[in-house]
Protein backbone atom coordinates (compact mmCIF):
# COMPACT_ATOMS: atom_id res chain seq x y z
CA UNK A 1 0.00 0.00 0.00
CA UNK A 2 1.25 3.48 -0.89
CA UNK A 3 0.72 6.70 1.03
CA UNK A 4 1.05 9.90 -0.96
CA UNK A 5 1.29 13.65 -0.29
CA UNK A 6 1.45 16.42 -2.89
CA UNK A 7 2.60 20.02 -2.55
CA UNK A 8 1.63 22.25 -5.45
CA UNK A 9 2.61 25.77 -6.53
CA UNK A 10 5.64 26.10 -4.21
CA UNK A 11 7.34 29.43 -5.01
CA UNK A 12 10.81 27.91 -5.44
CA UNK A 13 12.50 26.71 -8.59
CA UNK A 14 12.46 22.94 -9.25
CA UNK A 15 16.25 22.91 -9.61
CA UNK A 16 16.76 24.09 -6.03
CA UNK A 17 14.18 21.64 -4.67
CA UNK A 18 15.78 18.72 -6.53
CA UNK A 19 19.08 19.38 -4.75
CA UNK A 20 17.30 18.67 -1.44
CA UNK A 21 15.12 15.73 -2.47
CA UNK A 22 18.07 13.89 -4.01
CA UNK A 23 19.54 13.64 -0.50
CA UNK A 24 16.54 11.73 0.91
CA UNK A 25 15.40 9.60 -2.02
CA UNK A 26 15.15 5.92 -1.01
CA UNK A 27 15.79 6.55 2.71
CA UNK A 28 13.52 5.56 5.58
CA UNK A 29 11.36 8.33 7.05
CA UNK A 30 13.28 8.76 10.33
CA UNK A 31 16.61 9.19 8.53
CA UNK A 32 15.03 11.57 6.02
CA UNK A 33 13.55 13.72 8.80
CA UNK A 34 16.94 13.91 10.51
CA UNK A 35 18.66 14.96 7.28
CA UNK A 36 16.05 17.60 6.46
CA UNK A 37 15.93 19.08 9.95
CA UNK A 38 19.72 19.69 9.94
CA UNK A 39 19.96 20.93 6.35
CA UNK A 40 20.46 24.68 5.86
CA UNK A 41 18.61 25.14 2.59
CA UNK A 42 15.27 26.86 2.13
CA UNK A 43 13.47 23.96 0.34
CA UNK A 44 14.26 21.63 3.26
CA UNK A 45 11.58 23.27 5.41
CA UNK A 46 8.86 22.63 2.84
CA UNK A 47 10.00 19.08 2.03
CA UNK A 48 10.10 18.21 5.75
CA UNK A 49 6.56 19.48 6.22
CA UNK A 50 5.43 17.44 3.20
CA UNK A 51 7.19 14.32 4.53
CA UNK A 52 5.40 14.65 7.87
CA UNK A 53 2.10 15.01 6.03
CA UNK A 54 2.81 11.83 4.03
CA UNK A 55 3.64 9.93 7.24
CA UNK A 56 0.37 11.12 8.79
CA UNK A 57 -1.51 9.97 5.68
CA UNK A 58 0.17 6.56 5.94
CA UNK A 59 -0.73 6.18 9.61
CA UNK A 60 -4.33 7.09 8.78
CA UNK A 61 -4.32 4.26 6.22
CA UNK A 62 -3.10 1.84 8.89
CA UNK A 63 0.60 1.63 8.04
CA UNK A 64 3.29 1.79 10.72
CA UNK A 65 5.14 5.14 10.74
CA UNK A 66 8.50 3.63 11.74
CA UNK A 67 8.50 1.06 8.94
CA UNK A 68 8.11 3.44 6.01
CA UNK A 69 10.59 4.53 3.36
CA UNK A 70 10.45 7.04 0.51
CA UNK A 71 9.71 4.96 -2.57
CA UNK A 72 9.21 7.89 -4.95
CA UNK A 73 9.80 11.64 -4.70
CA UNK A 74 9.68 14.09 -7.59
CA UNK A 75 9.89 17.85 -8.09
CA UNK A 76 8.18 18.93 -11.30
CA UNK A 77 7.92 22.42 -12.68
CA UNK A 78 4.67 24.29 -12.25
CA UNK A 79 3.43 27.40 -13.99
CA UNK A 80 5.69 30.45 -14.13
CA UNK A 81 4.66 33.87 -12.92
CA UNK A 82 5.87 36.26 -15.62
CA UNK A 83 6.76 39.82 -14.67
CA UNK A 84 8.71 42.58 -16.37
CA UNK A 85 11.44 44.86 -15.03
CA UNK A 86 13.21 47.84 -16.49
CA UNK A 87 16.43 47.31 -18.42
CA UNK A 88 18.94 49.75 -19.94
CA UNK A 89 18.12 51.79 -23.06
CA UNK A 90 14.38 51.86 -22.32
CA UNK A 91 13.86 48.15 -22.71
CA UNK A 92 11.96 45.68 -20.54
CA UNK A 93 13.18 42.21 -19.54
CA UNK A 94 10.93 39.32 -18.54
CA UNK A 95 11.48 37.85 -15.05
CA UNK A 96 10.20 34.31 -14.60
CA UNK A 97 9.18 33.32 -11.06
CA UNK A 98 9.24 29.55 -11.17
CA UNK A 99 6.98 27.25 -9.15
CA UNK A 100 7.29 23.58 -8.20
CA UNK A 101 4.96 20.64 -7.65
CA UNK A 102 6.45 18.08 -5.21
CA UNK A 103 5.04 14.55 -4.94
CA UNK A 104 6.16 12.05 -2.30
CA UNK A 105 5.13 8.40 -2.00
CA UNK A 106 5.85 6.19 1.02
CA UNK A 107 5.79 2.39 1.17
CA UNK A 108 6.28 -0.07 3.99
CA UNK A 109 9.64 -1.82 4.27
CA UNK A 110 9.27 -5.44 3.18
CA UNK A 111 10.27 -8.17 5.65
CA UNK A 112 12.76 -10.61 4.20
pTM above 0.85, yes or no: yes
User: What's the pLDDT score for residue 112?
Assistant: 63
**CATH number of domain containing 9:** 3.90.470.10
Q: What is the pLDDT along the chain (112 residues), one digit of tens a residue?
A: 899 999 999 999 999 999 999 999 999 999 999 999 999 999 999 999 999 999 999 999 998 878 999 999 999 999 999 999 999 999 999 999 999 999 999 999 887 6
**Region of residue 62 (left: phi > 0; alpha: psi -120 to 50; beta: else):** left
Domain boundaries, position 31: 2-108
| Whole-number Cα distances in Å, 57 to 26, 42, 68, 69, 112 | 18, 24, 12, 13, 25
DSSP state of 78: -
Q: Number of folded domains in the chain?
A: 1
User: What's the pLDDT score for residue 79?
Assistant: 97
Amino acid sequence: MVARAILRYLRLSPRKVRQVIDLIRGKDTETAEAILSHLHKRPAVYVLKLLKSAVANAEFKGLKGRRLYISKITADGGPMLKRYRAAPFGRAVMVRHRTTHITIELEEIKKS
